[in-house]
Structures are given as structure tokens and as C-alpha cells.
């Protein structure tokens, strides 16, 4: 499961949009991420070749089991790390932005340790 950070971002976006909209097209991804349609088309092609997603005859994107596994992992990291940083007193926008950077580089071992240690903490003063 070795995929570039940009690929993880696309998979996470497709996952989020599929939960929100029920369907995902390349145009939806482009609009959500603020990328050009050609950039998204190239990424979709690479993810399709890597067997992380499929595209049906109408252009709808579907995560494969491998793509879904990565997307769920990145989404969990993003939401947990964002909440964690907010509980530490970081404003929501900064917390989300920093979590987005951290979610791709933190090891499974470190993330699991942080999650185990702080999952139930309220950080109340």
C-alpha cells in the first residue's frame, strides 16, 4: 500500500464526497479540491491504473477495496488529529490545515500510540 501523498488526498476526497453526495465525478473532485479538470483526470487515471478506484461508463468514481482502505485511514487520521489539536487550543482552521499535513507523514505506530493515549481525553482546564 505505497501511494504518494497526492494520491491519498484524492482518495480521501473521493471518500468524503461519496459520503456527502452519494456519488462522485471527476468534476466534483476538481471543484472540492480547487484543481483543474485535467489535473484530476490525470490523477484518476493513475489511481485507476493502481487499482485504487474504478470509473463506470457514466464517469462516476468508485473506490476499490484497496482505495477505500487508504481513504478511511487518511480520513480517520485527519478527523482525529484535527480534534486533538482543537482540544489543545488550536483554532479549527489551523488545526485542520496542520492535521492535513500530519496525516500523510505520521507512521501507523505513532498514530496508534497517540490515538490510544489521547482518544478519551477531554483536555478540560
| CB contact set of 7 (below 8 Å; sequence gap of 6+) | 43, 46, 47, 50, 52, 70
Is it true that domain 5-66 has CATH number 1.10.10.10? yes
Interval 89-108 mean pLDDT? 93
Confidence of residue 39 (pLDDT cuts 50, 70, 90): very high
| CB contact set of 64 (below 8 Å; sequence gap of 6+) | 51, 52, 53, 54
Interval 50-74 mean pLDDT? 96
Domain ranges of the chain: 5-66, 70-118
Q: Is the pTM of this model over 0.85?
A: yes
Alpha-carbon distance of 13 to 72, in angstroms, equals 10
Q: What is the pLDDT of residues 65-97, one digit of tens each?
A: 999 999 999 999 999 999 999 999 999 999 999
CATH number of the domain located at residue range(s) 70-118 in this protein: 1.10.60.10
Amino acid at each position: 500500500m505505497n501511494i504518494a501523498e497526492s494520491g491519498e488526498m484524492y482518495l480521501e476526497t473521493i471518500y468524503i464526497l461519496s459520503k456527502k453526495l452519494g456519488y462522485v465525478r471527476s468534476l466534483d473532485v476538481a471543484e472540492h479540491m480547487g484543481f483543474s479538470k485535467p489535473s484530476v483526470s490525470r490523477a484518476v487515471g493513475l489511481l485507476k491504473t493502481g487499482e485504487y478506484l474504478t470509473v463506470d461508463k457514466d464517469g462516476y468514481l468508485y473506490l476499490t477495496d484497496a482505495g477505500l482502505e487508504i481513504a478511511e485511514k487518511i480520513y480517520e487520521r485527519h478527523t482525529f488529529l484535527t480534534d486533538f489539536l482543537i482540544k489543545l487550543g488550536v483554532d479549527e482552521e489551523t488545526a485542520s490545515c496542520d492535521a492535513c499535513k500530519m496525516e500523510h507523514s505520521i507512521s501507523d505506530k505513532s498514530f496508534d500510540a497517540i490515538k490510544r493515549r489521547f482518544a478519551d481525553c477531554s483536555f478540560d482546564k
